[in-house]
Chain A
Amino acid sequence: KQEVTQIPAALSVPEGENLVLNCSFTDSAIYNLQWFRQDPGKGLTSLLLIQSSQREQTSGRLNASLDKSSGRSTLYIAASQPGDSATYLCAVHYGNNRLAFGKGNQVVVIP
């Protein structure tokens, strides 16, 4: 069974600092990995999708890397803003219609 771990569970940073969020998974046989953002009581918003053949994806201030062999992904958010405060979820697609989630990184950006 695929297990996904996200560290740290929660973090607070001052505005302007770069954010580094880590995700690890136990089975390297994955199709892709997807990072989501979730605001309190809301649904999930897709941020980045990395296919298993790719090493990284970028969108604006966001960059996600994937090291499949070591079972790791990192989400970088450059120059954090208060609006980046949310929970960030890592999800690993490891089989037909199977997506395993971590518990999330809860981020607070302090103005």
Chain B
Amino acid sequence: ETGVTQTPRHLVMGMTNKKSLKCEQHLGHNAMYWYKQSAKKPLELMFVYSLEERVENNSVPSRFSPECPNSSHLFLHLHTLQPEDSALYLCASSQGATGGILGYTFGSGTRLTVV
């Protein structure tokens, strides 16, 4: 596989469930990101990991918990979500803090619906 792979593609969960989103990049990049995309809003940065260290936590509620076990994998653990958390969650990767010569590469996203 090449690029950035996200699983699952679709997820429906109740407000009391616990689930995880997975992201894997095959590009040798050293930075990974979680973004949230809601209808009619610009993409919102949630978390940034650079060299496996979390360098950004953009005032995200604690019901979202990221994990980066190595430079190729990124997880977003979800628990006790709210209906307003329903959105498309996108993972991205880049080489270096300024995107390098190729910029950011995004995955296909996970469409999350909280019921």
**CB nearest to B4 among chain A residues:** A43
User: B residues within 8 A CB of A100?
Assistant: 42
In the bound complex, how far is the Cα of B90 from the Cα of A68, in angstroms? Answer: 28
Task: Looking at the assembled complex, report how far the CB atom of A108 sits from the nearest CB atom of chain B, in whole angstroms.
Answer: 17
Query: Once the chains bind, are B104 and A41 in contact (CB under 8 Å)?
Result: no
Which residues of B in the span 33-92 have a Cβ within 8 Å of any Cβ on A? Answer: 33, 40-43, 45, 48, 50, 55-56, 88, 90, 92
User: A residues within 8 A CB of B90?
Assistant: 43-44
In the bound complex, how far is the Cα of B108 from the Cα of A93, in angstroms? Answer: 21
The reply to whether the CB of A86 lies closer than 8 angstroms to some CB of chain B is no
Which residues of A in the span 51-97 have a Cβ within 8 Å of any Cβ on B? Answer: 51, 89, 91, 93, 96-97
In the bound complex, how far is the Cα of B41 from the Cα of A83, in angstroms? Answer: 24
User: B residues within 8 A CB of A4?
Assistant: 42
The reply to whether the CB of B103 lies closer than 8 angstroms to some CB of chain A is yes
Known contacts A32-B99, A91-B43, A102-B42; 13 further A-B pairs (Cβ under 8 A):
A34-B103, A41-B109, A41-B111, A43-B90, A46-B102, A46-B105, A49-B99, A93-B99, A96-B55, A97-B33, A98-B56, A99-B99, A103-B42
Which residues of chain B have a CB within 8 Å of any CB of chain A?
Answer: 4, 6, 31, 33, 40-43, 45, 48, 50, 55-56, 88, 90, 92, 94, 97-99, 101-109, 111
Query: Once the chains bind, are A103 and B40 in contact (CB under 8 Å)?
Result: yes
Query: Once the chains bind, are A46 and B103 in contact (CB under 8 Å)?
Result: yes
Task: Looking at the assembled complex, report how far the CB atom of A2 sits from the nearest CB atom of chain B, in whole angstroms.
Answer: 11
User: Which of B33, B88, B98, B109 has its CB near the most chain A CB atoms (within 10 A)?
Assistant: B98
Task: Looking at the assembled complex, report how far the CB atom of B98 sits from the nearest CB atom of chain A, in whole angstroms.
Answer: 4
User: A residues within 8 A CB of B48?
Assistant: 97
User: A residues within 8 A CB of B94?
Assistant: 97
Query: Once the chains bind, are A97 and B97 in contact (CB under 8 Å)?
Result: yes
User: A residues within 8 A CB of B88?
Assistant: 41
Query: Once the chains bind, are B31 and A97 in contact (CB under 8 Å)?
Result: yes
In the bound complex, how far is the Cα of B56 from the Cα of A4, in angstroms? Answer: 20
Interface CB pairs A-B, < 8 A, 12: A34-B99, A34-B103, A41-B109, A43-B6, A46-B102, A46-B104, A46-B105, A91-B104, A96-B55, A99-B99, A102-B42, A103-B40
